[in-house]
Every structure is written in C-alpha cells, then in structure tokens.
Amino acid sequence: MAKTKTSTFGTGKREGHDSSAYYKRKMHKGIFGEPLPDKELKKIVTSPPGDWSNQVYNQSSESMNQIPDNSIGLAFTSPPYNVGKDYDDDLQFEEYLTLIEKVGYEVYRTLKPGGRFVINLANLGRKPYIPLHSFFYQIHSDIGFLPMGEIIWIKGKGANGSCAWGSWLSAKSPRLRDLHEYLLVFSKMGYSRPDAGKSDISSSEFLESTISTWEIPPESAKKVGHPAPFPVELANRVIKLYSYLDDVILDPFLGSGTTCVAAKQNNRYYVGYDISEEYCRISNYRISQVISYQDNEDSNAVTED
C-alpha cells in the first residue's frame, strides 16, 4: 500500500500517512512541552501493581500517597463541578481550579510514561457560559500533560422532554440545550506507550472508539445512587482503547465507582479515591458484584482441585 503524505489540498486516505512535514511547521513549536523519545521513556523505572491496588481510599486525591510514582496505566475520572450537587463544596472558581490542579499533579506523578489521563466534564451555565474544558486544558498543559485530542460524548438526540429554550420562538434570549459532554485526553511525557502490553480491543470496537463522537446513553442517577454517574459503557470504551490488560486504572474522583467497576470487568487493576464515606461504600459494593474473567478462572481452578 502506497503511503500518503501532507499535501497542499490534504488527503482523505490516512492509513500509513506520513504527517512529518505538518509537524515540522512552526505552528507546533512552543505551544506545549516536547515529548521525550521512547528510548528516554523506557529508562524511567515503573512500579507494578501491589497491595495499594484494587483498593478504594476514603480521602482526598490531592495526596494519593499510597500510589508509587510511575505505576498507573490510565486515569479516568469525572471531577466534581462545584455547582451544588450533594458532593460539592461551594468553592470560588479559583479555589476550584486550585483543587483540580493539585489533583492533576498527583495524577501526573503516578502515571507511567506514556500513560493517559482522560477527563469527562461538561461546560457550565448560561449567564455566563463557563467553557470549563478550556480551563482544564490550560491547567493540565501547565502541569506538563500533552493534549492528545477530545471526544464528544453525545448523550441524547434532543427530541425529548428537556426544556431550556429561554425565549420561546424569539431571538430575545434563546438558550442552547447541551446534549453532550467532553472527554479530554492527555498523556504523560510521550504520545505513545514505550512499554509493551496486551490489548483486548476488537477491530470493530477500535473503529468505533477512534472517531471523535461517541453516542452512549447516560446512566440513571437513582439506579446508581449518585447525582451524576457516567455509564459503565463510557468507562469500558476508554479503558479498552487507552490501557493494556493488567494495567492499573485510577479514578481520583471516584463517586459511585463506575471506573473501578469497568476496570474489574475488563481484567485491569483499579484504585479510587473519594472524600465521601457513603460513595466509597457504594463503590465497594458495586465492585464486589462484578465477576471478571479472572474471577471465573480462579473459581474453575478451585473446582478442579
């Protein structure tokens, strides 16, 4: 198959595409930190899973002291929005961003080289509209994270009972109704994993997951017992796309434990943090209900003995 390369009018064919000419242009210089070469990333000592993994910690993720440096394959979370949910404090905006920054530094410390941090969030309000995702880009790029793209999670079609029109049928003050949230994708030190590992994603799953819009129905808050849960399917897609089997998956704002549930379902280790004792209890219960492939293997082994 002949390779394509960057040209004046672009190209619709992407397999084996050589984009080196594009990335040599001045547009890409000095915006974010420079990634390290794989040979340098491979020199960094990483830590395997230990007694600290497969645990839920009832404490703030501003200090995740149980987790060694360079030990997490993927972090996936949906942070609190500071908008008045049961779990929110009423912080000033700068205080809120300081919290996000402190947690971001800890996530960066614990990620393996090339490890990914995926953040699910929505923008807020209308008067004014707060483009929260733009602040998150600034904070995490200042920490040292490398942006890798964003996924638009489409939660519904819009032809439902959602009402936020503002001025009905008038240009006076119409309001937009958000049917989407963002998944911001960052990496540590490099754009690829320097370590070898086994992936378990199918070709159809890979094709579906590598487009920039995901249509996944939202989760029921009443069913889960949390005001703003994301669905297990969302976590499943992130985990299978961005982590190896037997990676440790971290959620620094655990909530109802969905990330850890999906990690266990997909034969990954997990670790989560939340300041709410009740949400930690819910998380541990939900995790305990998961029967992973490894659990079945262990059960069969015992039966055969």
Per-residue pLDDT at 14: 62
The whole-chain average pLDDT of the chain stands at 86
| pLDDT confidence tier of residue 170, bands split at 50, 70 and 90 | confident
pLDDT tens-digit readout, 210-251: 999 999 988 765 555 555 568 999 999 999 999 999 999 999
The Cα-based distances of 165 to 155, 176, 296 in angstroms read 18, 7, 50
Looking at the DSSP assignment, which residues form a beta bridge with residue 120? 183
pTM: 0.86
In this structure, the strands spanning 72-77 and 248-251 are parallel
Ordered alpha helix ranges (H), 52-154: 93-110, 132-143
**pLDDT at residue 159 above 70?**
no
| pLDDT confidence tier of residue 305, bands split at 50, 70 and 90 | very low
Task: Tell me how far the alpha carbon of residue 79 is from its chain's centroid.
Answer: 10
| pLDDT confidence tier of residue 20, bands split at 50, 70 and 90 | confident
SS3 assignment for 192-231: CCCCCCCCCCCHHHHHHHCCCEEECCCCCHHHHCCCCCCC
CATH code of the domain occupying 65-157+173-304: 3.40.50.150
